[in-house]
Amino acid sequence: MGLGDKTDPKALRCAEHVAIIMDGNGRWATNRGWPRLVGHRKGAERVKEIVRCAPDIGIRWLTIYAFSTENWKRSTEEVLGLMSIFARYIEREADRLAAEGVRMRFIGDRSKLDAKLQRLMAGIETRTSGLTRLNLTVAINYGGRDEVARMVRSLAADAAAGKLDPATITDAMISARLDTADLPDPDLVIRTSGETRTSNFLPWQAAYAEYEFTETLWPDFTPAELAAIVARFGNRERRFGGVVSA
């Protein structure tokens, strides 16, 4: 099936929001005897291909896990290298993303990020804010528990100030205070590299998402494999805790 084919429109239409845990860059490089940063650079190139093909297979929202709150535990060399790759990606891809109608935004705690990177992030968010062909969200210094803790502190502060009755807090109010407040919940979460953990990624938002774990390392993850996974998603029965009538 070509990426532009619509042989199963229902399947392509269902997974409108796909979230990806991009794992395996370091192993990809190590397996070849290369430094881990080579794998991260190759992974960034793969992001370009996946972003380019996503709208053609029915994806309207694409959220990718680039750097977690736990990734600061890695070596200083790797962390600084990753931050450089992020900045370079934004600088080099800004024109193409805008030309292709891709809105780019970021989730996570930006306070620990380099000031230049923060400026680049804010700049491309502003530049692409009105675009609608694809909504690309990049999670940088993101952790699901951190996000929930920040949301709880926000609600607690309002309650302490008398602005909010804790008894009135609803699921919708919680969602509205998360980093993803203006995004739909993911339909499908994909993790590459053979690991079967969710690694603190979108725990609230992905409560009813479908999951797919692939052995493929991220630098080898192709648009064709993404299309195949999205097509399989269309055959899954999603009940959201209910029962489908016979």
Q: At 18, which helix (H) or strand (E)?
A: strand 17-21
Token pair belonging to 40: 């991260």
The three-state secondary structure class of 141 is: strand
Residue 31 catalytic?
no
Closest to 228 (Cα-Cα) out of 198, 190, 196: 190
Q: Is 135 an annotated catalytic residue?
A: no
Distances (CA, A) of 94 to 101, 128, 146, 225: 11, 9, 29, 26
Phi, psi of 152, rounded to the nearest 5 degrees: -65, -45
What is the rounded CA–CA span in Å between residue 134 and residue 142?
21
Cα–Cα nearest to 25, from 76, 64, 69: 64
Q: Alpha helices of 1-137 — where are they, by DSSP H?
A: 9-14, 25-30, 36-53, 76-99, 115-127
Q: Catalytic: which of 5, 25, 56, 71?
A: 71
**Which of the residues are catalytic?**
23, 71
